[in-house]
Amino acid sequence: MTSMRDPLVGHALEGRYEITDRLARGGMATVYRAHDNRLGRIVAVKVMHEGLGDDQDFGRKFDREARAAARLSHPNVVSVFDQGRDHGRPYIVMEYVPGSTLRSVIVRDAPLEATRALDIIEPVLAALAAAHEAGLVHRDVKPENVLISDRGQLKVADFGLAKAISGQSATATQGLLIGTVSYLPPELVTIGKADTRSDVYSAGVVLWEMLTGRKPHTGDTPIQVAYAHVHNDIPRVSEFLPGSERALFPDYLDALVAGAVQRDPARRPVDAAHFLSQVRLARTALAEGVTSSPALVAKFSTEVDTELVDHDPDHVETHRFGDPDADEQTSNPHRSGPSASTGGATAVRTDTGTGTTPDEAAPVAAGARTAPSPDEPDVEFTPTDLRPVPARVYRRRRWMLLVVLLLVLGLVGGLGGWWLLAGRWTETPALSGLTRDDAVSAATAAHLEVTFDEAYSETVAAGRVIDTDPAAGERVTRGTSMEVALSLGPERFEVPTLTGLTTEEATEALREVNLVVGEQTEVWHEEVAAGVVLEASLEPGSQAKRGDAVDLTVSKGREPIAVPEVAGKSNADAKAAIEKAGLTVEVKEAHSASVAKGVVISQDPAEGTLHRGDTVTITVSKGPVMVEVPNVKSMGVQAATKVLQDKGFKVTTKPVEENYLGLGYVSYTNPGIGTAAPQGSTITLFLV
């Protein structure tokens, strides 16, 4: 059906990329599978719809963005190989990734478990981080652009494409919103511009959808959905979970997603790398069984004390010891820890809403009671613990001891936290395409071990890495062993000799070398028995891929020939008919009183089938047996009759026409005496 409806199928773009079939069609372009006739490989080609390439300025931007995307090299990014124009229509040639998309995973399995959702979004953010570092903004992050290969590797597609399209003339794109509307950042609707934080928003919506199994904003028309992104906050993930799951859903994961999908770009992570670091922290906490972490909530949240900031940006909290109502008067419901209080001194805390965590808050004066760290015991100091010391030197020494103690505790806690959250972790390197020795060196440099396995590959040269498990860019603990698949090159099998084998024997011989029987053609053969292979489509000893089909020509045996009916035909006509049918003629002769001379009396066999060269025997008439009429003149009628009957004749009598006397003696015969007459014929006696 595809080849009938799509005119590009079967067409070679610029004579090089031969379109084989259509994979998908979107609002701006159609993706095809194609064969690169120059390099002999399968590629994916995205061809822009007619009209998008008419503007010259768009053409320049399209080429520029395609070249920029082609320079982006990352294991989680679909590689861009080439770009060009065919009859004025721009196209991009990309890496072909057989498999499915994240959309199919969401449709089939969502809502996903938190760990699985983070495992999926991490390589997506790794790809976006590499693009952001290279100065590229994707602008169209959505599940359809996240490809999942048959080997389980995630790759992000369409880098640079949306930006080029967005630069087209207003006439050609009037009313067009770049990016799928369900994942559209608000600023792309309001001001038409996007930066790295826009990709963070779209990736956050994708993560939100994986965790909830639904889209955050819906509407009857795309403009309604876009309006919702601009004017409505995306609810927290936990609000859409059942009561039992909501209670167990980690608070820091709620904060992680909420921070990424803030309507105000300034409140989101600045780029994908920042968002990626947050995701990895959350995944580590999940792996260690942490169900609640105020520190991570504060770190991920961009709404700390937002109500306080909105009402009074310059608000300063002040607490003094001796004021029994201080805590109640200045308490802030948005704090995650107890309010600060001082003994004879003032502790100042300003909430600016800039994402500062409680651990990064301004220092408080001596004796202040601060919110406890989630990793430290909840210790409170009271005014009685801060009695004044009369000796200045002792007071100075105490401060120095306290500072040293805090530094040591901070160093130990920092090193411990660093080891738990970062130090013991490393990132798996990209080994695809490397030799065995280079792969070992790269893995060793990343503090990883490596084990090798071998596999055949049609695209990767022998001795080089095909793929790894874990995949490149994954976060693992040091000392983890990476399983590396080394290429054995293309897998080929030698075609066995099939001629002379029965079809069953040929099938088994092909199965033993991982090949199969293809189309079978049967022909008649006078020398080879039925069911025996006469010819194969591939020569013995030639190389074939696993599963390739070999066509066979098989004998049907000798061809049966219907025996022609020739009785009653002349000798010459009978011989011609039999020989034309491919049979041999044997001729016999016999007298016949009923069949004329030279005419076939009978044949053997008279009917049925024979094979080419078999013999048909025909009996040809020599005519009747001729006997000389004996002399019976002057004999009595009885004596003459006996003589003639003895010669094989039949006898009849008649009186002579003249001078008949009634004596009963033979006057003459007809046929006449001495003439030859057919045996069995009738002789007439004329009597006197």
- When pLDDT is averaged across residues 391-420 and rounded to a whole number, the result is 67
Residue 80: inside a domain: no
Is the pLDDT at 476 greater than 80? The verdict is yes
- When pLDDT is averaged across residues 385-412 and rounded to a whole number, the result is 61
Percentage of residues in the chain with pLDDT exceeding 70? 78
Higher pLDDT, 565 or 326: 565
Residue 152: inside a domain: no
- When pLDDT is averaged across residues 171-188 and rounded to a whole number, the result is 65
Nearest CA-CA partner of 76 in 140, 25, 23, 121: 121
pLDDT at 328: 33
pLDDT at 160: 56
Residue 518: inside a domain: yes
The residue annotated as part of the active site, out of 140, 158, 271, 467, is: 140
> For residue range 568-620, what is the model confidence (pLDDT) as tens digits?
999 999 999 999 999 999 999 998 888 888 999 999 999 999 999 999 999 99
323 is catalytic: no
Of the pLDDT bands very low, low, confident and very high (cuts 50, 70, 90), residue 27 is low
Q: Are residues 383 and 332 in the same domain?
A: yes
Residue ranges making up the domain that contains 643: 626-687
Angle (CA) 680 683 684, round 5° = 150
Is the pLDDT at 174 greater than 50? The verdict is no
Q: The CATH number of the domain where 596 resides is what?
A: 3.30.10.20
CA distances in angstroms from 307 to 334, 352, 527, listed in the order given: 8, 11, 98
Return d(Cα 628, Cα 273) in angstroms, integer.
129
Mean pLDDT of the chain: 80
Q: Which residues contact 536 (CB under 8 A, 6 or more apart)?
A: 495, 498, 499, 506, 550, 551, 552, 553
Nearest CA-CA partner of 257 in 307, 312, 296: 296
- When pLDDT is averaged across residues 347-368 and rounded to a whole number, the result is 30
Range scoring the smallest mean pLDDT among 177-181, 325-329, 457-461, 562-566: 325-329
> What single-letter DSSP state applies at residue 337?
S
Return d(Cα 64, Cα 421) in angstroms, integer.
40
Is the pLDDT at 133 greater than 80? The verdict is yes
Is the pLDDT at 330 greater than 50? The verdict is no
pLDDT at 221: 85
pLDDT at 593: 81
pLDDT at 396: 62
CA distances in angstroms from 270 to 189, 265, 394, listed in the order given: 19, 8, 48
The secondary structure element, H or E, covering residue 529 is: none
Return d(Cα 640, Cα 668) in angstroms, integer.
11
pLDDT at 570: 92
Token pair belonging to 614: 């078999």
Is the pLDDT at 20 greater than 80? The verdict is yes
Residue 135: inside a domain: no
Return d(Cα 186, Cα 228) in angstroms, integer.
9
Q: Are residues 311 and 377 in the same domain?
A: yes
Rg (CA), the chain: 51
- 449-455/481-487 β-pairing: parallel
Q: Are residues 308 and 344 in the same domain?
A: yes
Q: Are residues 376 and 396 in the same domain?
A: no
> For residue range 78-128, what is the model confidence (pLDDT) as tens digits?
988 888 888 888 899 999 999 899 999 999 999 999 999 999 999 999 999
Q: Are residues 465 and 435 in the same domain?
A: yes
β-sheet with 12-13: strand ranges across:
12-13, 17-25, 29-36, 41-48, 89-95, 80-86
Q: Are residues 394 and 445 in the same domain?
A: no
Quote the pTM value. 0.46
Of the pLDDT bands very low, low, confident and very high (cuts 50, 70, 90), residue 395 is low
Residue 321: inside a domain: yes
Q: Are residues 483 and 509 in the same domain?
A: no
pLDDT at 413: 65
pLDDT at 210: 96
Is the pLDDT at 647 greater than 50? The verdict is yes
- When pLDDT is averaged across residues 477-486 and rounded to a whole number, the result is 90
Q: Are residues 322 and 361 in the same domain?
A: yes
Label residue 420 exposed, middle or buried (CB < 10 Å: 0-12, 13-18, 19+).
middle
Q: Which residues contact 280 (CB under 8 A, 6 or more apart)?
A: 122, 425, 475
Residue 82: beta bridge partners? 93
Return d(Cα 299, Cα 357) in angstroms, integer.
5
pLDDT at 634: 84
Q: Are residues 312 and 382 in the same domain?
A: yes
> For residue range 461-475, what is the model confidence (pLDDT) as tens digits?
899 999 898 888 888
- When pLDDT is averaged across residues 371-392 and rounded to a whole number, the result is 35
Of the pLDDT bands very low, low, confident and very high (cuts 50, 70, 90), residue 204 is very high
Is the pLDDT at 348 greater than 50? The verdict is no
- 516-523/549-555 β-pairing: parallel
Residue 30: inside a domain: no
pLDDT at 17: 94
b/e sequence 35-53, b meaning 16+ C-beta within 10 Å:
bbeeeeeebbbbbbeeebb
Return d(Cα 158, Cα 154) in angstroms, integer.
14
Q: Which residues contact 657 (CB under 8 A, 6 or more apart)?
A: none
CA distances in angstroms from 62 to 15, 144, 157, 164, listed in the order given: 21, 21, 16, 5
Phi-psi region of 457 (alpha: psi -120 to 50; beta: other; left: phi over 0): beta
Range scoring the smallest mean pLDDT among 214-223, 380-389, 625-634: 380-389
Nearest CA-CA partner of 551 in 528, 523, 524: 523
b/e sequence 557-575, b meaning 16+ C-beta within 10 Å:
bbeebebbebeebebeebb
Residue pair 265/185 in contact (Cβ under 8 Å)? The answer is yes
Looking at 555, 576, 605, which one is the last position of a domain? 555
> For residue range 263-290, what is the model confidence (pLDDT) as tens digits?
999 999 999 999 999 999 999 999 999 9
- When pLDDT is averaged across residues 9-25 and rounded to a whole number, the result is 91
Residue pair 549/513 in contact (Cβ under 8 Å)? The answer is no
Of the pLDDT bands very low, low, confident and very high (cuts 50, 70, 90), residue 423 is low
How many domains, the chain?
Answer: 6
Q: Where are the alpha helices (DSSP H) in 168-214?
A: 186-190, 196-212
pLDDT at 372: 33
Q: Which residues contact 568 (CB under 8 A, 6 or more apart)?
A: 599, 600
Residue 84 backbone phi and psi in degrees, to 5: -175, -170
pLDDT at 335: 33
Residue 216: inside a domain: no
- 682-687/650-655 β-pairing: parallel
Of the pLDDT bands very low, low, confident and very high (cuts 50, 70, 90), residue 485 is very high
Q: Are residues 347 and 314 in the same domain?
A: yes
CA distances in angstroms from 126 to 114, 118, 439, 482, listed in the order given: 18, 12, 21, 19
Q: Which residues contact 688 (CB under 8 A, 6 or more apart)?
A: 655, 656, 659, 660, 661, 663, 665, 667
For residue 675, the SS3 value is coil
Q: Are residues 588 and 599 in the same domain?
A: yes
Looking at 471, 487, 503, which one is the last position of a domain? 487
CA distances in angstroms from 235 to 132, 266, 460, listed in the order given: 27, 19, 46
Label residue 62 exposed, middle or buried (CB < 10 Å: 0-12, 13-18, 19+).
buried
Higher pLDDT, 336 or 416: 416
Nearest CA-CA partner of 230 in 177, 269, 155: 177
Return d(Cα 400, Cα 612) in angstroms, integer.
118
Q: How far is CA 184 from the centre of its chain?
A: 28
Q: Are residues 411 and 444 in the same domain?
A: no
> For residue range 521-573, what is the model confidence (pLDDT) as tens digits?
999 998 999 999 999 999 999 999 989 999 999 999 999 999 999 999 999 99
Residue 476: inside a domain: yes
